[in-house]
């Protein structure tokens, strides 16, 4: 197919099916033949593979990435009214999980990489010692600086849930994201770097007690069959999704991440246009490029139309701040400062396609179309 006609999508699930469909079919058949659909050996096997992949002792499968954050905060002992430091620039689910667990989000501005500004966090924690919880987000697949995060944890006794929904496999100076927080969470929403064929999520922890509490919380708060010690959720990973993830998706993850990195390198060297600024990952980040964010200094909508007219689907992450959403009443959260960096990013950011099934030709086409653009 000529490059003119080929559509370059933000995600290509049909190409993924071509590649992985047979493994998926085998996994589905095995679950069907087993006659066991909820919390059985498939979930246990996948949790064990995921924990090994991540290098964290315990993994607990959940219904989705948002619930994994709520369950994590509650397993860490969050009480209603507790303040939770977090970023205004993320999927809405990050903040929604904090609110649902009874926390009060405290928003701090982002840094030049689009990640919550750890120095601003330090300043705020110094002036408000009542903040004990922190939900940082490794946005775009960039790894936040874990050394600085660790220093914050230790200096202020923070309980941290690292939201790794966009960053599975990313490293900061050789350490895995998720290894500084008492909890790491991720999502298997289909577009994520490790996606299921439906909803799913997981939390990971080195702490056996937190893992046990999380297992109870995801299953109606049951500590044993018909014994309910706490108000829990119904948020279990399905046997079907666990089997698909374990057989068809996780074994491909390393290759997928490599491909994303190769494409990011090509974009980084190939896109040379004074009207397009690349957003760089922080120093020391071995990124996994869930998204490839750029800044369009003016006329972003026209840029996205330009891409679309050449068959390329771009995106915006995100068009507004979490604090601007109607669902968040001002009295339910605390906004620290003017969030100027995050606001400016919302106005200028555009995301280029970077899924692992892009061909080399596709990648060169995106680069050419970017380089042709003038506002």
User: What does the per-residue mask of binding to ligand PLP show for 163-182, with x meaning CB under 6 A?
Assistant: x-xx----------------
Asked if 88 interacts with ligand PLP (CB under 6 A), we say no
What distances in angstroms separate CA 101 from CA 6, 74, 87, 162, 311, one per listed residue? 45, 7, 17, 16, 42
DSSP string, 277-298: EEPPPPTTEE---SSEEEEESS
- Identity of the residue, 187 or 323, whose beta carbon is nearer to ligand PLP in the bound complex: 187
Asked if 137 interacts with ligand PLP (CB under 6 A), we say yes
Stretch that binds ligand PLP, among 118-126, 158-166, 260-268, 328-336 (CB under 6 A): 158-166
- Identity of the residue, 244 or 363, whose beta carbon is nearer to ligand PLP in the bound complex: 244
Stretch that binds ligand PLP, among 58-66, 168-176, 261-269, 324-332 (CB under 6 A): 58-66
Least distance between ligand PLP and beta carbon 365 (Å): 27
Least distance between ligand PLP and beta carbon 93 (Å): 4
What's the number of CA atoms in the CB half-sphere (13 Å) around residue 317?
Answer: 21
Least distance between ligand PLP and beta carbon 202 (Å): 10
What's the CA gap between 34 and 29, in Å, rounded? Answer: 8
Least distance between ligand PLP and beta carbon 138 (Å): 8
- Identity of the residue, 199 or 286, whose beta carbon is nearer to ligand PLP in the bound complex: 199
Asked if 103 interacts with ligand PLP (CB under 6 A), we say no
Instruction: Map residue 349 onto helix, strand or coil.
Output: strand
Which stretches within 169-299 are classed as H helix?
Answer: 208-217, 239-244, 250-270
197: buried, middle or exposed (CB in 10 Å: 19+, 13-18, 0-12)? buried
227-228 and 222-224 as β-strands: parallel, antiparallel, unpaired? antiparallel
Asked if 90 interacts with ligand PLP (CB under 6 A), we say yes
Instruction: Map residue 251 onto helix, strand or coil.
Output: helix
Instruction: Map residue 256 onto helix, strand or coil.
Output: helix
Least distance between ligand PLP and beta carbon 46 (Å): 16
Beta-bridge mates of residue 152: none
Summarize as ranges the residues that interact with ligand PLP (CB under 6 A).
64-66, 90-91, 93-94, 137, 163, 165-166, 187, 189, 199, 201
């Amino acid at each position: 197919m000529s490059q003119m006609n080929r559509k370059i999508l933000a995600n290509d699930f049909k190409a993924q099916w071509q590649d992985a469909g047979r493994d998926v079919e085998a996994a589905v058949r095995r679950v069907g033949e087993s006659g066991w659909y909820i919390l059985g050996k498939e979930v246990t096997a996948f949790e064990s593979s995921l924990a090994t992949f991540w290098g964290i002792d315990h993994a607990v499968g959940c219904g989705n990435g948002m619930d994994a954050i709520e369950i994590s905060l509650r397993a860490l002992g969050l009480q209603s009214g507790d303040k939770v430091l977090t970023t205004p620039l993320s999927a809405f689910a990050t903040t929604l999980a904090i609110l649902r667990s009874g926390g009060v989000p405290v928003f701090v501005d982002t840094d030049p990489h689009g990640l919550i500004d750890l120095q601003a966090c330090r300043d705020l924690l110094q002036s408000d010692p009542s903040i004990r919880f922190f939900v940082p987000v490794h946005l775009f697949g960039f790894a936040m600086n874990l050394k600085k995060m660790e220093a914050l944890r230790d200096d202020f006794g923070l309980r941290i849930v690292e939201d790794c929904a966009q960053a599975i496999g990313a490293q900061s100076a050789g350490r895995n994201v998720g290894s500084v927080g008492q909890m790491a969470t991720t999502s298997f929403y289909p577009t994520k770097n490790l996606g299921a064929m439906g909803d799913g999520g997981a939390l990971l922890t080195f702490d056996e007690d937190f893992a046990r509490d999380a297992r109870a919380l995801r299953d109606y708060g049951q500590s044993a069959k018909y014994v309910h010690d706490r108000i829990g959720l119904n948020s279990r990973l399905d046997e079907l999704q666990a089997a698909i993830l374990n057989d068809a998706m996780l074994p491909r993850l390393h290759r997928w991440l490599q491909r994303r990195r190769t494409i990011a390198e090509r974009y980084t060297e190939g896109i040379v246009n004074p009207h397009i600024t690349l957003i760089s990952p922080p120093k020391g980040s071995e990124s996994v490029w869930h998204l490839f964010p750029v800044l369009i200094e003016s006329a972003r909508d026209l840029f996205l139309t330009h891409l679309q007219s050449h068959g390329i689907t771009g995106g915006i992450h995100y068009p507004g701040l979490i604090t601007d959403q109607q669902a968040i009443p001002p009295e339910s959260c605390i906004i620290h400062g003017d969030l100027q960096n995050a606001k400016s990013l919302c106005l200028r950011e555009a995301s280029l396609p970077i899924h692992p099934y892009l061909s080399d030709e596709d990648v060169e086409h995106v680069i050419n179309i970017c380089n042709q653009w003038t506002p």
